Amino acid sequence: MKSLKFFLLIGILVIGMTANLNAQTLMRTNQALNARQQSIVAIAAFTAKGDLTGLQKALSNGLDAGLTINESKEVLVHLYAYCGFPRSIQGINTLMAVIEARKAKGITDKTGKEATPIKDSGTKYERGKKVLKTLTGQPEKEPKTGYAAFSPEIEVFLKEHLFADIFERDILNYADRELATISTLISLGGVEPMLRGHLGIGLRVGLTELQLWQTLSLIESSVGKKEADAGKQVLSEVIKFRKE
């Protein structure tokens, strides 16, 4: 009799745990982009395209949605690694103008936190490798192949600068950075292999499938159907691969 009660109790606990996990999965699956995240998508998309009029509105909407000045600036700084210094600096100049215009209207925007100083004593290359492994969940392949073997210089630049200097800055979390990166790559177009990789990373660091589909819808309405359709095809492939 005691054994029966024990197994019944175990069964109830297992059912309860399963239901809780299913509820958490359902909540994660159904989670849409919030206003702050939608602003990151818009800021990245308009910056990549060089649409300063659209960017001006997106930056103002982002501040209204809860992005701090430093977070907005960090999105624009982050983007130079993907769409170049000219677009990034134009974006920063636009942000400065937006802040001044809002001040003239009596709006005081929150500055926000600064990046925490890096305490890791490792070399930037090793720190970058560590960040990349965290993002992808995969150890680095050796020996080097492809572009990394053909141009070891750029492989070092990626590790030391992109994944150490930039990704280690904690003003934005990894999910925010990937959302900005994905939005930029979709808007640029013609970089499907990189987009494929970052969509996988985005799902790994906490973005949901629904959020990525919503990102594509936002880009379709702000940038164009052609770019969004190409992104939809890549996202479909990524989701199919992950399920298989």
Q: How confident is the model at residue 220 (pLDDT cuts 50, 70, 90)?
A: very high
Average pLDDT (157-174) is: 97
d(CA 174, CA 218): 20
Provide the token pair at 135. 């993002």
CA angle 145, 182, 30 (to 5 degrees): 120
Quick: pLDDT tens for 56-90.
Answer: 999 999 999 999 999 999 999 999 999 999 999 99
33 pLDDT above the threshold of 60: yes
Look at residue 30 in the predicted model and tell me its pLDDT.
Answer: 54
Among 9-18, 90-99, 182-191, which stretch is predicted with the lowest mean pLDDT?
Answer: 9-18
Question: Which stretch of 49-58, 100-109, 138-147, 217-226 has the lowest confidence by average pLDDT?
Answer: 138-147
Domains, the chain, ordered by start = 35-115+169-243 (1.20.1290.10)
Give the other-Cβ count within 10 Å of 30's Cβ: 9
Confidence of residue 31 (pLDDT cuts 50, 70, 90): confident
Mean pLDDT (whole number) for 39-49: 98
Q: What is the pLDDT of residue 132?
A: 96
Say whether pLDDT at 5 is over 90: no
Greatest C-alpha distance within the chain? 78
125 near 156, Cβ under 8 Å? Answer: yes
DSSP state of 190: S
**Whole-number pLDDT of residue 10:** 44
Number of Cβ within 10 Å of residue 140's Cβ equals 11
Q: Is the pLDDT of residue 227 over 50?
A: yes
User: Rounded to two decimals, what is the model's pTM?
Assistant: 0.86
pLDDT of 232 > 70? The answer is yes
Per residue, the 3-state secondary structure of 122-181, as one string, reads CCHHHHHHHHHHHHHCCCCCCCCCHHHHHCHHHHHHHHHHHHHHHCCCCCCCHHHHHHHH
Q: How far apart are CA 243 and CA 133, in angstroms?
A: 21
Residue 25 CB coordination number (10 Å)? 10
Residue 96 pLDDT greater than 70, yes or no: yes
Give the pLDDT of residue 9.
Answer: 46
Indicate if the pLDDT at residue 91 is higher than 90.
yes
The share of the chain scoring above pLDDT 70, in percent, equals: 88
In the chain, the N- to C-terminal Cα span, in Å, equals: 45
Crossing angle (nearest 10°) for helices 174-188 and 35-49:
40
Digit-coded pLDDT (tens) for 110-164: 999 999 999 999 999 999 999 999 999 998 888 999 999 999 999 999 999 999 9
Q: Which residues lie below 8 Å from residue 172, measured CB to CB, with a gap of 6+?
A: 71, 74, 75, 78, 180
Residue length, the chain? 244
pLDDT over threshold 90, residue 42: yes
Q: Please state, in angstroms and rounded to a whole number, the distance separating the CA atoms of residues 37 and 214.
A: 11
